Structure 1
């Protein structure tokens, strides 16, 4: 194919196309879908911050009310020491476990989204579904643990008032749920890349 000879100082065909592409890129408005995604991310962050703030306020109010109730209705000895009834500590432990579940779940999810997005980069929708399913499992475990360990009457080695045996039991409840969630979360971190590779391989094989 014959091409017109270029005169000295005149831009070549490649240079003209490059100039046109740069001019078009400079004058073209940003992609609307990207702008909407940025706005959506900002809105999601604001909603998450409001939810965290509301949860913190509710927990502070609940703990304050519980503390006031303990100070007002707990009997005292002759010397003025508190005689804490067993159900007060049990109620406080259950409130603490519920508050821990409501705080720890969004905290793990917040830092796990980027990890899941990197693992399931070939299957973004699968990554989102995986996060939702792990949230369901998380709250089911927390709920089952609280229901299994809650006490509606003093245990054999307890009395009507708080004794070291009950304090040790409640501390073990808190440590137990932290251990369970920690082990499951560690297994999830290890297994997620394996699942991501399997889903990616399955998608590539099915696309052939």
Structure 2
């Protein structure tokens, strides 16, 4: 054993002899394992619900879509409703996903102001859902559009598919840009709040 290894072994042994084992260590490990299992079961249920919902929506679309010798003729409103449901599903999935991984980041940024960090997360959640709701309401259509070239047939066209795809890509781009700005600005806000608490006359 080298000199460095001996010194490291002695230091660890010395610290270990002075440290009392945590009385609830086993309970905390068991609780952590149970939490992990519960999270895995929850993810499995969410995945099963997504698959079931996707299959149900696909069957409903096929049942509602008329067909003839040339194939399926999907009415324009089915794609419109499907896009709105997809936007809603993205909002309900992406919001908690971002929040889950953002808590640790916010806690590190607002370590001097934990309550401020929690309030900031809540406020950003409200802004997030307001943006999604506004985007859906602004871009929804209740009648075929002239640029879709289906005002007579009222069937889905390539132009409508392109428009609906742009709606999905647009909201993802907006949320991505706002989320990137939030990541950049949050440390600055945390620094401002931290300095504000340290000003003379503030406790």
Aligned pairs (5 A) from 1:16-27: 22=18, 26=20
Q: In the TM superposition, what is the alpha-carbon distance from 1:147 to its structure 2 partner?
A: 1.1
1:141 matched residue in structure 2:
131
- Mapped to 1, the partners of 2:143 and 2:129 lie a distance apart of 25
Secondary structure, counterpart of 1:157 in structure 2: helix
Could you state the TM-score of these two structures normalised by the residue count of structure 2? 0.77
Whole-Å separation in 1 of the counterparts to 2:42 and 2:165: 28
Q: Secondary structure, in 3 states, of the residue corresponding to 2:169?
A: helix
> Alignment partner for residue 96 of structure 1, among 86, 89, 95?
86
Aligned pairs, how many?
183
CA distance in 1, matches of 2:131, 2:101: 20
Structure 2 residue ranges without an equivalent (≥5): 1-16
Unaligned segments of structure 1, at least 5 residues:
1-20
What TM-score does the superposition give when structure 1 sets the normalisation length?
Answer: 0.75
Rounded to whole Å, the distance in 2 between the matches of 1:188 and 1:180 is 12
Q: 1:189 aligns with which of 176, 183, 189?
A: 183
CA contact (8 A) 1:85 1:161 kept: yes
Q: Which residue of 2 aligns with 1:177?
A: 171
The RMSD of aligned alpha carbons is 2.9
